[in-house]
A and B are shown apart, each in its own frame.
Chain A
Amino acid sequence: MKKAGIIMIIGSLLLLGLFKFPLWNIMLGAPQYPDPLGMNIYIQGIKGVEEFDLQNIDGLNHYIGMKTIPKAEEMWEFSVFPKVILGMAILGVAIGLLGFFEKLNYKYFLGWFLLMSILGILGMYDFNNWLVDYGGNLDPHAIIKVTNPDGTPMSYKPPLIGYKKLLNFDVDSWPHIGGYLMFIGMALTLIAFWIGRKASLRTP
């Protein structure tokens, strides 16, 4: 159980990587942008990959009537997410410590994992909603209006994950270092659960 506790602590601490590294990254390449424009999504806000990328993305998007990329203070998520992540890290470390000193059952590890998974899914759901609004809620006076074959206005929603072609742009949306650290951390807490369970089965 000591080993499981340590892994649980390490796994939870990996969440803190999100304060330093981006959770997600969206890159926009086009024929005239051989060096793609890009945005890094942190839990505290959105930043350009290069100094002027956000300004240049906004500049291009004004032709199709997209809103500008929100500043940190314009979305409640960027004040809530850091608190949730910090809270979950502290909670995970606490559970790990209690597990280490055998004050707690290994099942709490799984509980933490499930709670984190639910919060994660909620977060992704919320992120996707924003993408839908960002890509679809267009200025009716947009300079360029592109419609789907059925006549409905085309959406410029970037993919939640993966690749998509949007007009002349190749859009890639993938987790970034902070995101990968979080996934590894969550996997570690699951491993902690597993090891804890094995240990408890061996000691009758």
Chain B
Amino acid sequence: MKKILKSTLAIVAVFAVFTSCNNADKSSNSGALSSNNAEKVYIAPGEHDSHYAFISGGYSGNLTVYGLPSGRMFKEIPVFSQFPTNGYGYSEETKPMLETSYGFVPWDDSHHPDISQTKGKLDGRWVFINGNNTPRIARISLTTFETEEIIEVPNSAGNHSSSFITENTEYVVAGTRFSVPVPQKDISIKDYKGNFKGALSFISVDPEHGHMDIKFQVLMPGFNYDLSHPGRGKSHGWFFFTTYNTEEANSLLEVNASQNDKDFIAAINWKKIEEYVNNGGGTMMPTEYAHNVYDDDTHTATSTMKKEVRVVNPTEVPGAVYLIPTPKSPHGCDVDPSGEYIVGNGKLSANLTVHSFTKMLDAIKNEKFAGEAYDIPILNFEDVLAGSVEQPGLGPLHTEFDGKGNAYTTFFISSEVVKWKLGTWEVIDRKPTYYSVGHLTIPGGNSAEPFGKYMFAMNKITKDRYLPTGPEMEHSAQLYDISGDKMELLLDFPTHGEPHYAAAIPAEIVKNNSRKIFKLSENEHPKKALSDADTKIVRDGKNVHVYMTMIRSHFSPDNIEGVKVGDKVFFHITNLEQDFDVPHGFAMIGARNAELLIAPGQTRTLTWEPQKVGVWPFYCTDFCSALHQEMQGYVRVSPANSDIELSWSLGE
């Protein structure tokens, strides 16, 4: 195969030498070739896409993995939601992942994935994503493509201005959309103003293992913190949050939170607060939040309830927090690759506002303040303004960058993406989206080095884009080629759930790290069975523990007797395969949770509470081999008062 490839390449190379002069002529005078968009998204059978896209699932609570430019979906990674497809959130090993201070919460609304960075560049180690509803941040490994960690965010409600990371993945940042009483207490909603707080959480990320820990929370005034992005390059050490409802209304927000001509972008000097905290600053406040960590060796998650969090009042740290007036309820808060420009996408504004980091520092240095809000200095809009894009469209939401000096902003109301130039603020191009675009993504678009070849827009309304599927439809995304001056629509593809943001990355940074199997020799699950000799059944009162193995094409044991009605049977099953892409499934009749899908080398536990006397089958759900249908077994269930002893066998 390699030989064929080499010789093909050699022929292609020779061909290129002989035809290169002609090619140059063709590309300069023929538009027909460049308009062949089908070719640009066609990935021949067996070939690979050039980019991964990790698209949030919104109300699915999950993260989907797509290929670009083909728009093909490869996988749905369960994050905040139970996933009967593989038993995530149902198996004993993964149930702790969904524990919170509210108890077991088996769903969420996942929003903004962000890929880990080193020195401002995507390093492809982890994807972080926020659960918007029950505030949580998850970390997903890009070697196993599984959720490895979930940390709950206390004092927060509507975890929306999350989960964006700093340029060396020092922090993943989570801001609250809803301000709430901190700590929570029983007060009248009408007492909102002045009493509610908005917590902005800085969660440190261990550089080696990725483990998350809430370093501090800044307790801001009771605005709504909508979106955020880190400073980078010259502005590294700062974080920017858009706000709306600076009116601090508590009812009919669509009117009452749209009264102020300008809301704010909050600029937080997290380096300064970090230093303050490292020197013992801030207050440890009692609270409760769950920290759930999955271990690849034990194949098991553990949940720990944390009891306190460090909070910092912004006025405690002079010079750490400033408010930049920004027109009309800004939504997206986006920082260009150089770190100089901070785009406030004022969603009710006719113009797009761009602030200058350098001007901001000057204004701070000269102490030119327009006033204060809750003792936090407010800068002058004009002092910080870098420029405005005049009347670019209606309802700007989000902006990404191509690394070539251009910015791309989505306009929800006018349903389009507009390309404009940083510095001159002139509009270069506009292309419609179908329909009502929310976020857009350029691979590496939230980093110092974007890969400005593709951009895709994720839309909120689908209508007639695909064959109709009843009132409820998947959302639609459009892929554009942005390598030229003008954007070119290449492809329309459906997405799963409701994508909010997505993060994309060149495939070569990730694909070679993808794991094929889990090694049995590294399996440290306390209830593993590595051979037939390890298989057994142990009764502990009404709990029956079955230590089982699976390999093509049988379970061991596959005949089990001595189980009684009223027992709780734990099937601890180890997949003995060490071959790529040979998972086995396990399904028990009448199981009121889910089936299991068990990867090679992994151990998983399904709990089954037999209800009825009889002989009940189980089987493999994943067509694993030519004898998959033979991969089955029986459990004999006797009456509760039966004295039949436990016994088990295989092949007798």
Interface positions of A (Cβ within 8 A of B): 35, 51-52, 55-56, 59, 63, 143-144
Is residue B552 contacting chain A, with contact meaning CB distance below 8 A?
yes
* Interface flags, B619-652, vs A, CB<8A=1, else 0: 0000000110000000000000000000000000
Known contacts: A52-B579, A55-B578, A56-B579. The answer to whether A63 contacts B626 by CB under 8 A is yes
Q: Are B627 and A52 in contact (CB under 8 A)?
A: no
Q: Are A52 and B517 in contact (CB under 8 A)?
A: yes
Given contacts A52-B517, A52-B578, A52-B579, 13 further A-B contacts (CB under 8 A): A35-B580, A51-B578, A55-B578, A56-B578, A56-B579, A59-B551, A59-B552, A59-B577, A59-B579, A63-B626, A63-B627, A143-B627, A144-B626
Residues of B close to A35: CB separation below 8 A: 580
Taking the closest CB of chain A, its distance from the CB of B652, in whole angstroms, is 15
Interface positions of B (Cβ within 8 A of A): 517, 551-552, 577-580, 626-627
Residues of B close to A144: CB separation below 8 A: 626
- 16 sampled A-B residue pairs with Cβ under 8 A: A35-B580, A51-B578, A52-B517, A52-B578, A52-B579, A55-B578, A56-B578, A56-B579, A59-B551, A59-B552, A59-B577, A59-B579, A63-B626, A63-B627, A143-B627, A144-B626
Residues of B close to A55: CB separation below 8 A: 578
Q: How far is the CA of A143 from the CA of B418 in the complex (A)?
A: 64
Which of A35, A55, A59, A143 gathers the greatest number of chain B CB atoms within 10 Å? A59
Which of A35, A51, A52, A144 gathers the greatest number of chain B CB atoms within 10 Å? A52
Q: How far is the CA of A196 from the CA of B573 in the complex (A)?
A: 69
Residues of A close to B552: CB separation below 8 A: 59
Taking the closest CB of chain A, its distance from the CB of B554, in whole angstroms, is 11
Taking the closest CB of chain A, its distance from the CB of B624, in whole angstroms, is 11
Q: How far is the CA of A55 from the CA of B577 in the complex (A)?
A: 9
Residues of A close to B579: CB separation below 8 A: 52, 56, 59
Q: Name A56's closest neighbour in chain B (CB-CB).
A: B579
Residues of A close to B551: CB separation below 8 A: 59
Residues of A close to B517: CB separation below 8 A: 52
Residues of B close to A143: CB separation below 8 A: 627
Q: How far is the CA of A63 from the CA of B578 in the complex (A)?
A: 17
Q: Name B579's closest neighbour in chain A (CB-CB).
A: A56
Taking the closest CB of chain B, its distance from the CB of A31, in whole angstroms, is 12
Residues of A close to B578: CB separation below 8 A: 51-52, 55-56
Residues of B close to A51: CB separation below 8 A: 578
Q: How far is the CA of A63 from the CA of B626 in the complex (A)?
A: 9
Top 8 A-B pairs, shortest CB-CB distance: A52-B578, A56-B579, A55-B578, A59-B552, A143-B627, A52-B579, A56-B578, A63-B626
Taking the closest CB of chain A, its distance from the CB of B5, in whole angstroms, is 13
Q: How far is the CA of A143 from the CA of B554 in the complex (A)?
A: 13
Q: Name A37's closest neighbour in chain B (CB-CB).
A: B579
Q: How far is the CA of A52 from the CA of B579 in the complex (A)?
A: 7
Q: How far is the CA of A59 from the CA of B626 in the complex (A)?
A: 13
Residues of A close to B626: CB separation below 8 A: 63, 144
Which of B517, B577, B579, B580 gathers the greatest number of chain A CB atoms within 10 Å? B579
Taking the closest CB of chain B, its distance from the CB of A171, in whole angstroms, is 15
Q: How far is the CA of A28 from the CA of B550 in the complex (A)?
A: 24
Q: How far is the CA of A51 from the CA of B600 in the complex (A)?
A: 14
Q: How far is the CA of A143 from the CA of B578 in the complex (A)?
A: 21
Taking the closest CB of chain B, its distance from the CB of A130, in whole angstroms, is 25
Residues of B close to A59: CB separation below 8 A: 551-552, 577, 579
Taking the closest CB of chain A, its distance from the CB of B627, in whole angstroms, is 7
Q: How far is the CA of A200 from the CA of B310 in the complex (A)?
A: 94
Q: Name A62's closest neighbour in chain B (CB-CB).
A: B552
Taking the closest CB of chain B, its distance from the CB of A63, in whole angstroms, is 7
Q: How far is the CA of A59 from the CA of B575 in the complex (A)?
A: 13
Taking the closest CB of chain B, its distance from the CB of A181, in whole angstroms, is 22
Q: How far is the CA of A51 from the CA of B579 in the complex (A)?
A: 10
Residues of A close to B577: CB separation below 8 A: 59
Q: How far is the CA of A143 from the CA of B580 in the complex (A)?
A: 23
Residues of B close to A56: CB separation below 8 A: 578-579
Taking the closest CB of chain A, its distance from the CB of B2, in whole angstroms, is 12
Q: Name B601's closest neighbour in chain A (CB-CB).
A: A52
Q: How far is the CA of A35 from the CA of B580 in the complex (A)?
A: 10
Q: How far is the CA of A144 from the CA of B626 in the complex (A)?
A: 10
Q: How far is the CA of A194 from the CA of B578 in the complex (A)?
A: 53
Residues of B close to A52: CB separation below 8 A: 517, 578-579
Q: How far is the CA of A115 from the CA of B578 in the complex (A)?
A: 44
Q: How far is the CA of A143 from the CA of B579 in the complex (A)?
A: 21
Q: Name A35's closest neighbour in chain B (CB-CB).
A: B580
Taking the closest CB of chain A, its distance from the CB of B514, in whole angstroms, is 14
Q: Name B600's closest neighbour in chain A (CB-CB).
A: A52
Q: How far is the CA of A35 from the CA of B517 in the complex (A)?
A: 15
Q: Name A144's closest neighbour in chain B (CB-CB).
A: B626
Q: Name A55's closest neighbour in chain B (CB-CB).
A: B578
Taking the closest CB of chain A, its distance from the CB of B476, in whole angstroms, is 33
Which of B551, B580, B626 gathers the greatest number of chain A CB atoms within 10 Å? B580
Q: How far is the CA of A35 from the CA of B578 in the complex (A)?
A: 14
Q: How far is the CA of A52 from the CA of B516 in the complex (A)?
A: 12
Taking the closest CB of chain B, its distance from the CB of A47, in whole angstroms, is 15
Q: How far is the CA of A109 from the CA of B301 in the complex (A)?
A: 68
Residues of A close to B580: CB separation below 8 A: 35
Q: Name A29's closest neighbour in chain B (CB-CB).
A: B1
Taking the closest CB of chain A, its distance from the CB of B260, in whole angstroms, is 61
Q: How far is the CA of A55 from the CA of B530 in the complex (A)?
A: 14
Q: How far is the CA of A59 from the CA of B627 in the complex (A)?
A: 13
Q: How far is the CA of A144 from the CA of B553 in the complex (A)?
A: 13
Taking the closest CB of chain A, its distance from the CB of B248, in whole angstroms, is 61
Taking the closest CB of chain B, its distance from the CB of A87, in whole angstroms, is 37
Taking the closest CB of chain A, its distance from the CB of B612, in whole angstroms, is 34
Q: How far is the CA of A59 from the CA of B600 in the complex (A)?
A: 13
Taking the closest CB of chain A, its distance from the CB of B583, in whole angstroms, is 14
